[in-house]
Amino acid sequence: MFSVWARGSVWTQTMVRTAMRWSSSSAPPPPPPTSPPTPTTSIDSIPQTAAGDASRDPVSAGGGASPGGAVPERKRFYRSVTVSAAPATAPAPGFVIKLDDRQLRTPARSLLVLPTKALAVGVAGEWDSQRPTIKPHLMPLTALSNTATDPHRQRDRNQRVEDLLRFLATDTVCCRTPDPAAFQEMQSTHWDPLVHWFTKRFGVELNVSEDLFGGVHPEATTDRMRDVLKNMNEWTFTGLETATLTAKSMVIAAALGGGYIDANQATICAHLEEEFQTERWGKVEWGHGMRHADTRMTLAAAGLFMRLATENARLL
């Protein structure tokens, strides 16, 4: 069962608590404890987070979830954050976010219309938690929503699909190391269930190999997954793309989006060799710890995004 609670992720727990609080009440979120200055900054001019091109992490590009992004902070310029149904003039049905009386827009000036109320509450919670300054790197749901709304800022969808298929061709979970024996056993324990789930879920075959560059999957597998990716809605595709680029594995990303594993399990599977080495030789806290925390937060954001953006909480 997919868990939106990634252990150790303060951001995820805060967002879930906020969503639960808002969902149980029709009242608008409470105002910040101290009155901010009168809004004078345009919503369009603040450094909202959004992706650059698809070769970069859609969460961290332009100041997303990655803590390494250096995006200038600005003082919070709004008092209230509310969620409402999209107006009849919106490009699609859904929900919009209002900062005071102004509708939130993407960096490309498009009206941000969220497909589900659950996702709208999550995005609104990010904006409501920004005090006293706006911290774009703590707003990954906003970044992913901007990316899904402004796909023209990305490369052609067909090219993005082919990029993800290249990850599948050399997928982490399909490229095995035969020795030492303890690591081989660790790979089987963590990765074999993912391979089994993926092949059953999509009706394909995966070739698991000890070759340096992995095995060659059947052509029918590539064709099937190409169709799956092309027919996927932009919201789910954006989350899957983010998780794939982060984990370096479409299998891990799909299992996360499909609810088979949670963000903590996905992080372990993505860094399995590192996990094996640290069990033997110890962990460098400021190296391994920070890298794992960054991966876990990005995967938690992508997984939560896919779940909140779809009514039935499934990958497809």
Instruction: Return the CATH number at 183.
Output: 1.10.3580.10
* Same domain? 275 vs 290: yes
* Same domain? 133 vs 65: yes
Last residue of a domain, one of 153, 188, 218: 153
Last residue of a domain, one of 119, 153, 187: 153
The confidence score (pLDDT) of residue 116 equals: 96
Residue 175 belongs to domain spanning: 157-309
Q: Which residue has the higher pLDDT, 212 or 52?
A: 212
> Does 315 map to a domain?
no
* Same domain? 141 vs 226: no
> Does 249 map to a domain?
yes
- Which range, of 51-55, 139-143, 190-194, 196-200, averages the lowest pLDDT? 51-55
Last residue of a domain, one of 95, 121, 153: 153
* Same domain? 97 vs 30: yes
The confidence score (pLDDT) of residue 121 equals: 97
Q: How far is CA 199 from the centre of its chain?
A: 23
DSSP 289: I
> Does 272 map to a domain?
yes
pTM score: 0.74
CATH number of the CATH domain containing 58 = 3.30.2180.10
> Does 4 map to a domain?
no
* Same domain? 221 vs 104: no
DSSP string across 74-126: EE---S-EEEEEPPTTSSSSSEEEEETTEE-B-TTS-B-EESSHHHHHHHHHH
Out of 4-13, 41-50, 122-131, the most confident range is: 122-131
> Does 296 map to a domain?
yes
> Does 1 map to a domain?
no
59, 65 contact by CB (below 8 A): yes
* Same domain? 114 vs 166: no
163, with CB counted inside 10 A (0-12, 13-18, 19+), is middle
CA-based nearest residue to 66, from 296, 303, 267, 308 = 296
Token pair 């925390």 is found at 293
> Does 266 map to a domain?
yes
* Same domain? 58 vs 81: yes
What CA–CA distance (Å, rounded) separates 75 from 89? 31
pLDDT band at 156 (very low <50, low <70, confident <90, very high): confident
Report how many domains make up the chain: 2
The confidence score (pLDDT) of residue 274 equals: 82
pLDDT tens-digit readout, 25-57: 444 444 443 433 333 223 443 444 333 333 333
* Same domain? 294 vs 267: yes
* Token pair belonging to 72: 């200038």
φ/ψ (deg, to 5) at 34: -120, 145
Q: Where are the alpha helices (DSSP H) in 170-271?
A: 181-202, 219-230, 234-247, 250-257, 263-270
When pLDDT is averaged across residues 280-299 and rounded to a whole number, the result is: 77
> Does 36 map to a domain?
yes
Three-state SS for 149-193 is HCHHHCCCHHHHHHHHHHHHHCCHHHECCCCCHHHHHHHHHHHHH
* Same domain? 223 vs 142: no
pLDDT tens-digit readout, 236-282: 999 999 999 999 999 999 999 999 999 999 999 999 988 777 766 66
* Same domain? 138 vs 223: no
Given a cut of 60, is residue 6 above it in pLDDT?
no
* Same domain? 57 vs 133: yes
